[in-house]
Amino acid sequence: MKSQLLLFLTGFLVLLSGCEKDMSKFSPSDVLIYSSEFACGNTSIRLAEYEAKQIPYEFREIWLNIDQDPHPVNWGEMWEKAHSIGVTYITFPLVDVKGTILINPTAEEIIKEL
């Protein structure tokens, strides 16, 4: 009985280990992150989470400087994407995963969309 249970658990663990996506096949341009390194502690927590899961991403800074002057391109892109899903207030980061717009997503939510 114990050996059958051990065999079952081993098979289950092997099955689970094959469920993780290979992040190396994705490009940083597949995951666009809009936020600010100047003013967002939440973004730094999320970026650490994404890096721990080896999610490639392209970071798009929304401010030109610490005075929070909007970046002429990234600021507009971010709001265009937010408005496309009916969002008027953003909890950073806003993430575009291959065209799917997510607000403050976990690493697992990003991986699901890849």
pLDDT score at 68? 84
Per-residue pLDDT tens over the stretch 27-81:
899 999 999 876 678 899 999 999 999 999 999 999 988 788 999 899 999 999 9
CATH superfamily, with its number, for domain 23-113: Glutaredoxin (3.40.30.10)
Output the six-digit token pair for 104: 């403050």
Chain Cα centroid distance, residue 112: 10
Q: Which residues of 59-82 are buried (b: 16+ CB within 10 A; e: fewer)?
A: bbebbeeeeeeebeebbebbbebb
pTM here is 0.77
Percentage of residues in the chain having pLDDT higher than 70: 82
